Amino acid sequence: MNLALLIPIAFKNIDLGGNCDTIILAGDVGGTKANMLLSRFTEGGLQTIKEARYVSKDFHSFTDILTHFLEGQACPDNICFSVAGPVIEGKVKFTNLSWNIDSEEISKHVGGSPVAILNDLESTAYGLAGLKKEELNTLYKGTNETPGNIAILAAGTGLGEAGLFFDGKQYHPFATEGGHSDFAPRSARDMAMLNFLWGRHEHVSWERMLSGNGIFTIWEFLTQVEKKEKLEWLVKQMENTDPAPVISKAAMDKSCPVCMETIELFNRFLAIEAVNMILKLKATGGLYLAGGIAPKLLSLLDRAAWKEVFEKSGRMRQLLREVSVYVVLNEKAPLLGAAYYACLNM
């Protein structure tokens, strides 16, 4: 099998050509949605048989979605799901959803097919292999193309983080729960933000800032603590809906100064946590911004602000200057990663 991988991921079956003509069931299951894909993996790559998107909260359990999606379909040969939460021994309790998933139970439910469950950021890491060059946008160009570890930062319903260890030839993805590590202020204003959140939460993580809820939280800080003006039409639009898209749209069309400032702060915080990841993983191979938010806000991710954050990051600024930052434009990277894993790593 001739697979042109954008990034040489260390799939254990890649040299064997994978399992040609295999029916694969892949899914990307999160707190907001569940993307499902049934495909045939051949020498030409993935060929879609059926694809669907479900709203997670509309179903009592994941098996309900699975039953609906597979109705009338043959039993898949291999199954892999990307899930939003820490996976331990094939089981996961979702971070932002009241579901549990067990690989053994799912296998029984579908007739005995082998089932793998990956953390969604680990799956995103595997998905980098199947991306096309045009599905990456260079947000910050480093001064040197040094092969090395890669970091992935994905803001969406929550904040996911993962890494890829470089062994000198190939990349080995691994999951982390770094999005739940402590938010670290850099300025007096950041400290005021932290104090604001301490009034609500016992523990303040980066996810409190870098997520859909985080966008709304930043807006609340600006309007409640810094007393910035609340526009009546904006507040009305936020009623009975997710406020983050409303704020983002108002920032995009420049109709609300506070919303524009909200996204500016979000962009700065994203750059700061990107620096933290690069330094902790020594990610000279680059940092990839995945998830649902970065592609939608691409035009508002200020490159100059990223450069400033990188330059003001202490004694390792020379290393940071060398690292490139990319935005993953294909939001289905976790689904793609699950499909590739099901064929080439099971």
Predicted confidence (pLDDT) per residue in 127-172, tens digit: 999 899 999 999 999 998 788 999 999 999 899 999 999 999 999 9
Q: What is the domain range of residue 318?
A: 133-329
84 band by pLDDT with thresholds 50, 70 and 90: confident
CB 153 within 8 A of CB 323: no
Question: What is the rounded radius of gyration, in angstroms, for the C-alpha atoms of the chain?
Answer: 21
The pLDDT assigned to 30 comes to 80
Cα separation of 129 and 110, whole Å? 28
| Token couple for 204 | 């303040």
Q: Does some domain include residue 154?
A: yes
Are both 242 and 204 inside the same structural domain? yes
Residue 270, domain CATH: 3.40.367.20
Q: Is residue 37 domain-shared with residue 165, that is, in the same domain?
A: no
Residues 177 and 282 in one domain: yes
316 shares a domain with 171: yes
Judgement on whether residues 208 and 269 belong to the same structural domain of the protein: yes
pLDDT value of position 27: 96
Least confident of 120-124, 141-145, 201-205: 141-145
Q: Is residue 5 a part of any domain in this protein?
A: no
Is residue 76 very low, low, confident or very high in pLDDT (cuts 50, 70, 90)? very high
Instruction: Please report how the helices 212-220 and 257-281 are oriented relative to each other, as an axis angle in degrees rounded to 10.
Output: 130
Contact 49, 38 (CB under 8 A): yes
Report which of residues 288 and 346 the model is more confident about: 288
Among 307, 292, 302, smallest CA distance to 265 is for: 302
One domain for residues 150 and 290: yes
Band (pLDDT 50/70/90 cuts) for residue 42 is: confident
Rounded mean pLDDT of 299-312? Answer: 94
Q: For position 2, what pLDDT does the model report?
A: 52
Give yes or no for residue 17 having a pLDDT over 80: no
Residue 219 within a domain: yes
Cα separation, 1 vs 161, in Å, equals 31
Count of domains observed in the chain: 2
Same domain? 125 vs 161 = no
- Domain membership of residue 255 (yes or no) is yes
Residue 269 has pLDDT above 60, yes or no: yes
One domain for residues 189 and 308: yes
Q: Is the pLDDT of residue 266 over 80?
A: yes
Hey, is 305 helix, strand or coil? helix
User: Does the structure show a pLDDT above 80 at 15?
Assistant: no
Shortest CA distance to 339 belongs to which of 15, 10, 31, 47?
A: 47
Three-state DSSP class for residue 159: strand
CA-to-CA dists, residue 99 to 30, 31, 277, angstroms: 10, 9, 29
User: Do 114 and 49 form a contact (C-beta atoms < 8 A)?
Assistant: no
Query: Same domain, yes or no, for 59 and 117?
Result: yes
pLDDT band for position 301 (cuts 50, 70, 90): very high
pLDDT, position 32: 77
d(CA 30, CA 211): 13
Mean residue pLDDT across the chain: 92
Same domain, 220 and 313: yes
| CA proximity to 332, closest of 37, 65, 87 | 37
Query: Can you read off the two tokens belonging to residue 26?
Result: 């892949």
What pLDDT score was predicted for residue 34?
A: 92
**pLDDT(19) > 80:** no
Lowest mean pLDDT among 93-97, 169-173, 189-193, 314-318: 93-97
pLDDT at 18 exceeding the cut of 60: no
| Average pLDDT of span 7-22 | 74
Per the structure block, which two tokens stand in for 33? Answer: 């949605």
Whether 8 is covered by a domain: the verdict is: no
- 2 falls within a domain: no
CATH number of the domain to which 91 belongs? 3.30.420.40
In a domain, 4, yes or no: no
Token code pair at residue 226:
């810094």
For residues 170 and 238, give the distance between their C-alpha atoms in angstroms, rounded to a whole number.
Answer: 46
What's the predicted TM-score (pTM) here?
0.91
Per-residue pLDDT, 173: 97
d(CA 302, CA 139): 8
Q: Does residue 83 sit in the same domain as residue 207?
A: no
* Element containing residue 244 per DSSP (H, E): helix 243-252
Tell me if residue 128 falls in helix, strand or coil: helix
Q: What is the rounded average pLDDT of the residues 12-38?
A: 80
Asked whether residue 113 falls in the same domain as residue 166, the answer is no
- Say which range, 98-112, 160-174, 251-265, has the weakest mean pLDDT: 98-112
Within-domain flag for 237: yes
3-state secondary structure of 325: strand
